[in-house]
Amino acid sequence: MATLSKGKYAQAISDQSGMAFPYNEMVTQWDGLFVHYSEVDPKHPQLEPKPTQADGQGLPKARPDRVEPPVLILLQNNPFQTIKYSGNTYVNVYSQNHGRSTGDVVRLYGPTDADGFTNVPTFDGVSDISNASGFTITVGKIDSSGNVSKPSNYFYFQSSDTAINGNIQGGGSSCSAGPVTLEG
């Protein structure tokens, strides 16, 4: 078998730059190009990504999110206002950050005593505010001209009673608004 020359005086042309370099200083790059050692282009790390595992699909012993039951919201003193409009009586209710929507059914409670909740005191001839079936509400505040503004802290309902004057605040203290039936 024949022996190969050591290339001590040989020259080689770089595949990358086309320049001549001593043959002994040439190397084969990762992509197969025969280049001088000063021209070596290292392989980019993204060309050989490290293996990764897929994201987990679920948690052991997971439980669904709980839906909180509706709760009572304590109202400020005299939170009710009677409004007479077009032969009907409406009652505006001030309930800060109530989070209710139009169409929700809300029951209004008076202060508590040893036997539980009392009725909301009658004012301006309106006595049905503590109706056990509750009221279907509309979010906003109605005025005596029938205009509805949209302050977020108000809702109103139509009363079956007839207000005497209208535009009267009432209800007293420690009234609350909540679901028709209380749980717990």
- Taking the alpha carbons at both ends of the chain, their separation in whole angstroms is 98
| Tens digits of residue pLDDT in 139-173 | 999 999 999 999 889 999 999 999 999 999 999 99
User: What value does the mean pLDDT take over residues 45-54?
Assistant: 86
- Confidence band (pLDDT; 50, 70, 90) for 1? low
Q: Which is more confidently placed, 78 or 70?
A: 78
* Class of residue 158 by CB neighbours under 10 A (exposed 0-12, middle 13-18, buried 19+): middle
User: What value does the mean pLDDT take over residues 55-67?
Assistant: 84
| Tens digits of residue pLDDT in 117-137 | 899 999 999 999 999 999 999
d(CA 9, CA 103): 96
- Confidence band (pLDDT; 50, 70, 90) for 106? very high
Could you tell me which of 142, 11, 17, 22 has the C-alpha nearest to residue 88? 142
Q: What is the mean pLDDT of the chain?
A: 90
**pLDDT over threshold 70, residue 66:** yes
- Confidence band (pLDDT; 50, 70, 90) for 71? confident
Could you tell me which of 155, 175, 150, 148 has the C-alpha nearest to residue 98? 155
Cα angle: 28, vertex 31, 32; to 5 degrees: 45
**pLDDT over threshold 90, residue 93:** yes
- Specify the residue for token string 């994201």: 55
Give pTM, 2 decimals.
0.64
- Sign of the Cα torsion 159, 164, 167, 168 reads negative
